Amino acid sequence: MPFENPIDVQKDKKSVSFKALLESRAKRSKSRLILALDLPYRDQIVTLSSSAKEILEDTAEYICGVKMNFHLIAPLGINELKSINDMISSYDMPSIADVKLNDIDNTNKIAAQYLWSAGFSAIIVNPFVGYEGGLDLLLKLSKERGKGIISLAYMSHKGADEGYGLQLKNGESMYEIFLDRAKEWQLDGVVVGSTRPEIIAAARLRLGPEIKILSPGSGAQGGDPKRSLEAGSDYLIVGRSIIENANPKAEAKRLFDSLLSS
């Protein structure tokens, strides 16, 4: 597969926006599950791509999108990632690059261009870096290309309290500021861990319906998927409980079936 110039990819194309594609797929599939295609470490990375595609094929009917972290982004090249993303696209699903971009504007831009050239529909960013000279250029380019930007608001691990849960002198918490930034920057979504349903509920009230809440942390990290949806999550990001199951398809179906009425 030939390498595509990241600067030219999608430059003149009109495409369906990330949020519209995700919502459309969720409606048609009746699923609110985003698969975290985060495979465990292996010494022989030559089988990573085929393993990822096999899991994707097995679980596709039960999910509405796919998220990839450094588990695949670090060891695989652009062409291999694009091959996986082409497969995801064949199911009319979006893919999210979970790299938590957190740098100056030029670095963020270049990183995004490579990720877009690899076929990703959206990128997760860290709002700590700020707007001017940080995320401003990336947000402008993403809107021009119909690409999605999702920001961290409150991560799912326990240590997130040390950053996102910090209280400022005015009584606000850092996560509340990040939710306000998501509205001000007109982002597509925010990440709030399913391990914190009370934060999900607060985020839903603060954000309104337009900005989507994506919640990782169900299963392996102890979050309750039903409670997360009831609190206001739009989508659940689920990885290890499916990926590391002896039968990923059966586990994806079990989880899908359990959430149909939610």
User: What stretches of the chain show up as alpha helix (H) in DSSP?
Assistant: 18-29, 48-59, 70-73, 78-90, 105-117, 136-145, 174-184, 197-207, 225-231, 240-243, 248-259
Q: In b/e form, how buried is each residue of 96-129, taking b as 16+ CB within 10 angstroms?
A: bbbbbbbbebeebbebbbebbbbbbbbbbbbbeb
Element (H, E) at 147: none
Cα 211 to Cα 234: distance, rounded to the nearest angstrom: 9
Phi, psi of 152 (to 5 degrees): -70, 135
Place of tokens 């079990």: 254
What CA–CA distance (Å, rounded) separates 240 from 195?
15
100 catalytic? Reply is yes
Name the catalytic one among 19, 67, 100, 147.
100
Point out the residues that are catalytic: 100
